Amino acid sequence: QQAEIGLIGLGVMGSNLALNIAEKGNRIAVFNRTPSRTDEFLGEAGGLAGQIIGCHTIEEFVAAIRPPRPIIIMIKAGEAVDQQMAALLPHLAKNDIMIDAGNANFRDTVARFERLAGTDVTFIGMGVSGGEEGARHGPSIMVGGTEESWKRVEPVLTSIAAKFNDEPCVAWLGTDGAGHFVKTIHNGIEYADMQMIAEVYGILRDGLNMSATEIGEIFGQWNKGRLNSYLIEITEKVLKATDPETGRPMVDVIVDAAGQKGTGKWSAIEAQNLAVAASGIEAAVSGRVLSSLREERIAAEKLFGLPALAEAPKDKAAFIADLENALLAAKIAAYAQGFAVMSSASEEFNWSLPMPTIAKIWRAGCIIRSQFLDEITSAFTRDPDVANLVVTPAFAAMVKETDAALRRVVAHAALSGLPVPALSSALSYFDTYRRGRGTANLIQAQRDFFGAHGFDRLDGKDVHHGPWAGQF
């Protein structure tokens, strides 16, 4: 019996995805560049091996799949994908589908889609979120490609996706790069979420002098409330873990320099390209960049010293409650920004991205999964074309309830010299967005002064330049 789908690349993510596919009752053919890995994988598959056809050559692999053949390519993003696609193409037939499931830049996906448009073969760019565990037991899957190719893969992908209230966390989001774009923004939001959590950890550790275990306890409490989410859940676990080498908390022995593979940066770049303010995502990317300058930071601390801490909050419990609300408020800003980027991209690239569906398929399986996304789903279902998530009734109410806490937390952190770039960006975002009369009138005047760039008048008069005293 032929396989329903094929998969190339038996690394951690590929292997787990293949096992998930097999476990859900789909026959799958697998191929790996190093054939011994394929044999090893079949050994690891245990009882699922019967559903898996291990292939040592591309010819064997292609012949093992039922046409039109969907083939998932799960290898390192970048040039390797193009090489693999080129090697595969001559073996494929009409309507076969190459599926790139890596963290590709959506611009590469659009280019690949267009390149294949001249052939018989079609292309799907598929964002897969959820890390190793998600791939194995149920990821969130964001699909971009033709509707016809989606129909071919829909049953298999539906069977392997995470479920939220029995609804599968997979959807077709539009043509060419739509799926990878949405995955990129998912990751941008993931960066913002993680940065904001880390900033709150910093306030507790350096401002309140709490131990990792104590802070873990607080995150554990928060996970039972409105912040309930995978990232808060793992934060508790991570903070409570002990280093077997030293017996100290694991986080206390880890170097404070964050890695990054590019998706967060791409989401900030695309936000800028689309002229959408995504200051929370940008702050998170810059935060990682500054974190990586460890030597420079250590030298600068020697040069400047650290500011004295502000007076400790009088009511510690109330301050910790403020931190919880501040995190919620800042999270709202970051998600509002991420969704605003997607809505602008949807127009720019003619995708018709379905906002309620995107929120829906992020409710389970992916790294940013949370209760909160269910609330976003409801808000967008009520009002799919709303200009900004923060003005939907439910989120406006949440902002009104929490922004004072965010203000107190940011103020306290600023007075204590504790860096909170993402939290403070969220506060500035709200403060700017809610103020009807801003200060860009001055910028317009300056632009007109030095470059005759022109301005509009509040009274609508058709006069667009000043007389400026002392201009030339």
CB of 162 to ligand 6PG, least distance (A): 11
CB of 316 to ligand 6PG, least distance (A): 33
> Residue 197, SS3?
helix
* C-beta closer to ligand 6PG: residue 242 or 260: 260
> Residue 173, SS3?
strand
Q: Which of 4, 190, 236, 324 is catalytic?
A: 190
CB of 263 to ligand 6PG, least distance (A): 5
What is the Cα 438 distance to its own chain's centre? 31
Catalytic, 190? Answer: yes
Tokens at 258, concatenated? 């964050």
What span, in angstroms and rounded, lies between the C-alpha atoms of 314 and 239? 26
CB of 366 to ligand 6PG, least distance (A): 5
Say if residues 231 and 197 touch (Cβ distance below 8 Å).
yes
| Phi-psi domain of 470 (left: phi exceeds 0; alpha: psi -120 through 50; beta: other) | left
* C-beta closer to ligand 6PG: residue 247 or 259: 259
Pairing of strands 97-100, 70-73: parallel
Binding site for ligand 6PG (CB under 6 A): 103, 129-131, 187, 190, 259-261, 263-264, 366-367
> Residue 148, SS3?
helix
CB of 294 to ligand 6PG, least distance (A): 17
DSSP H or E stretch at residue 66: none
Catalytic, 461? Answer: no
CB of 102 to ligand 6PG, least distance (A): 9
What span, in angstroms and rounded, lies between the C-alpha atoms of 85 and 79? 10
Question: Which residue, judged by CB position, is nearest to ligand 6PG in the bound state?
Answer: 129
What span, in angstroms and rounded, lies between the C-alpha atoms of 415 and 378? 38
Beta bridge pairs of residue 164: 167
* C-beta closer to ligand 6PG: residue 80 or 310: 80
CB of 381 to ligand 6PG, least distance (A): 23
Q: Which of 76, 94, 151, 183 is catalytic?
A: 183
Tokens at 124, concatenated? 């799907």
- Give start and end residues of each alpha helix (H) in 292-392: 294-304, 316-348, 355-361, 371-382
Residue owning tokens 């995504």: 278
Tokens at 463, concatenated? 């006069």
Residue owning tokens 């992020």: 362
DSSP-derived secondary structure letter, 246: T
Contacts of 301 (CB under 8 A, 6+ apart): none
CB of 190 to ligand 6PG, least distance (A): 5
What span, in angstroms and rounded, lies between the C-alpha atoms of 136 and 377? 25
* C-beta closer to ligand 6PG: residue 55 or 135: 135
Tokens at 123, concatenated? 């292309």
Query: For residue 145, which of 117, 119, 164 has the smallest C-alpha distance?
Result: 117
Contacts of 391 (CB under 8 A, 6+ apart): none
Q: Could you list the active site residues?
A: 183, 190
